Amino acid sequence: MTDYRLTYHLAPRQGWLNDPNGLCVHNGKIQIYYQADPDSLTGSCRKCWGHFTTTDFRHYTDCGLAVEPVERFESHGAYSGSALSLDGQLHLFYTGNVKEPGDHDYIRSGRQHNTIHAVSQDGLRFDQKQVILTNADYPDFCSCHVRDPKVNPTADGYEMVLGARTLDDEGCALLYRSCDLQQWQLDAVLRSAAKMGYMWECPDLLHFDQADVLLCCPQGLERQGYHYENVYDNGYFILHGDEARTYRTLDHGFDFYAPQTFLDPQGRRILIGWLGLPDTDYTIPTKTWMHALTLPRELRFEDGRLKQRVIEELRPGPALTEAVKQTKAPETFVLKACPQGALTLTIDGLKLVYENGLLTLDCSQCGAGRTLRHVELDKLDELELYLDVSSVEIFINDGEVSLTSRCFFDGSVRNVAASCDFTLYQAPRIEIESRESA
């Protein structure tokens, strides 16, 4: 019986994975941490940080667990955060979750969200842990939900952005500054003029030449037509001072959340997301492992918006077909097409349709409860689709729009058909070895 194991995505050997954390370069290696629970398929037992490293995005080392919640100020989990490499040391900043006993709603009382600073030389173990912010340090208007610190260097020190939920159930982000990574002062509260959900999770502050952008995951957005179809959205605001304006969804698929970015040695802004989503009414039928990370994507700000493109190292291999309208294919491949108008594409039970300005992803026959997702598009000129054994990542018009989802098929042969010519290419290949065998 298949366990739908992915072939070119990072996933846990066993247990649970969620948010990517601590993305950075340290000691000449790209560090990819993630939320891990090796003892559970629900993420409810022991929330730790798992760890991969790579130098080329093709060959990875699974380094096991880097952070475990062993201190009382993180007793209910080492939650999400970020990393900063500085003078040969790797500094982690993350949320230590503590749930107090008693009759609490754990929103307005009963929860400690401690911001923790941990230091390591090798990035493998973080035994030096210090609480730098507690609930008492956050603004009085905040609930107990303040988490997911993302730290960046600035010209005159460091900035930290934290996601928050106010006592009035409005989402916002808190911007702190420091000159020494130890003492932090609140500098600004980033808000939208109109309410955009009750909590902004996983914030990431990006500074492009053209604009400052706040990535975050607003929880509590009500569906509006074809907008905000998922239980929790993911997206970004264009910042004008402290005001967050012009919100756009980043990925429109069923399974994308908690993206985090870093600058690689080439100066590219690389984004990795969680190929999953919490609190869904659809399932994942894997038996020994749960969830994965998306393909690394280069993030660009062009024409007033963010665009995503799979990094060059994982671009498609040699062509598997000529330009065709129908073919049998292996379990994994990359598909490219230039529809220049309406489109109907089927891959066994997966269907993608574009007509009358609306793109529809239909997973109702292969999605384990997933049904339809939509994007309104002025045109569909170019399509690039990455299919793994149980995932699909779709990029439209050079990354202007993306849709990421899990999908579950029978057998090892895919039947592909479209209303326009397409070409199939060899899927990327990666290798993962454990640190013990490296």
Catalytic positions: 19
Contact 419, 345 (CB under 8 A): yes
**Neighbouring-strand partners of residue 396:** 383, 401
As a three-state string, the secondary structure of 174-209 is EEEEECCCCCCEEEEEEECCCCCCCEEEEEEEEECC
Q: What is the dihedral of CA 344, 346, 352, 357, to 10 degrees?
A: 0
- Angstrom distance (rounded) from CA 61 to CA 40: 22
Q: If we measure between CA atoms, which residue out of 112, 124, 151, 152 comes closest to residue 62? A: 124
3-state secondary structure of 313: helix
Phi, psi dihedral angles at 394 (to 5 degrees): -115, 130
Q: If we measure between CA atoms, which residue out of 327, 332, 291, 363 comes closest to residue 8? A: 332
